[in-house]
Structure 1
């Protein structure tokens, strides 16, 4: 019955177009027929919660945003004493930015010579800034060694690998976008993150 969720239909179409997806491509990713997605976008059909969840993941948003709910006001300040370290594959992460944002900002300790030093490729951009130690950054075929104070900003679809180049490890600031990511977890470690 149309009209139950009046703002969802135009929002679905706008988000799909903003992501540059055709009706067919978005429908395929969501496991829907293009005709069904078209009916959702015109308001001739109401989406179920699983459909909204799948579409919000594809469009890089939340169900709450799709429904037009205003998110609670976020505290723009991240206090150092409230940032618990999380460890994954020997890397130690501390939140340095607000949760639920399009950018994930972290302070990261990268240990020397770990199995986490593997090639990554994913949508988005990354920016790193070395605070302490030296960092070895492989971007495609090029390898760069960054000293304290050095930064790098790159498209993360470029195969990349980040590792400490000094035995004591390295400390860096790390910012990356969560473009079209269904998971808002730390993207650097393959292991299961756990509180220290």
Structure 2
């Protein structure tokens, strides 16, 4: 809006009593903006708070899937920023079975949790192969070598992953 009005940072700074450097950091995303700063900026720009924070596209609303054909996983990240303790929530559609073998079983600090929304998932947990069916959930220590995949057709899960779990299971999204 500032540029559309032909104003420099100094022009806007004079109208809203914020420093040009603060405005620059706000505009480039290097500083979070507070509500009192938003109010002052909206007044200086002759607009409303709603118009000032309105998104120019639908990215703040629409969650687009990310497909990893090699792993047979489609993932929808359900939180845009990590939650408390860095936790991420993802819906995942699994189309391939869990692969056996030490090279595919992963270990990382923490715990993983998921619930099966549809289909059946096989959780490989050390030497065990555990069936988790629609409506059931699994929670386990991730220090045990583990992997999971679909059984007899696609399955969908809702997973909660700590930062280590996110790096391991959602690595293609980074």
TM-score by length of 1: 0.49
Partner of 2:157: 172
* 1:126 has 2:94 as partner: no
The answer to whether the 8 Å contact 1:91/1:189 transfers is: no
The 1:100/1:111 distance shift into structure 2, 3 A limit, reads same
Aligned-pair distance for 1:186? Answer: 4.9
Q: CA RMSD in A?
A: 3.3
Q: Match of 2:147?
A: 161
Q: Give the Å deviation of 1:90.
A: 2.3
Structure 2 counterpart of 1:82: 62
**1-structure distance, mates of 2:98, 2:130:** 18
The superposition leaves residues 48-84 of structure 1 with CA deviations (integer Å, 9 ceiling, x where unpaired) of xxxxxxxxxxxxxxxxxxxxx99679xxxxx996111
How many residue pairs get aligned? The number is 115
Give 1:152 shift. Answer: 0.5
SS at match of 1:134: strand
What is the TM-score with the length of structure 2 in the denominator? 0.55
1:91 maps to 2:73: yes
Other-structure match for 1:149: 135
- SS, match of residue 144 in structure 2: coil
Q: Bigger radius of gyration, 1 or 2?
A: 2
Which residue number in structure 1 is paired with residue 168 of structure 2? Answer: 187
CA contact (8 A) 1:121 1:159 kept: yes
What does the per-residue CA deviation read over 1:77-121, in whole Å, with 9 as the maximum and x for residues that have no partner?
xx9961111122221000122413311110000113376993111
List, as ranges, runs of 4+ consecutive aligned residues in structure 1 with deviation greater than 3 Å: 69-73, 113-117
| 1:3 corresponds to | none
Q: Which runs of 5+ in 1 are unaligned?
A: 1-68, 74-78
Q: Per the alignment, in what secondary structure is the counterpart of residue 84 of structure 1?
A: coil
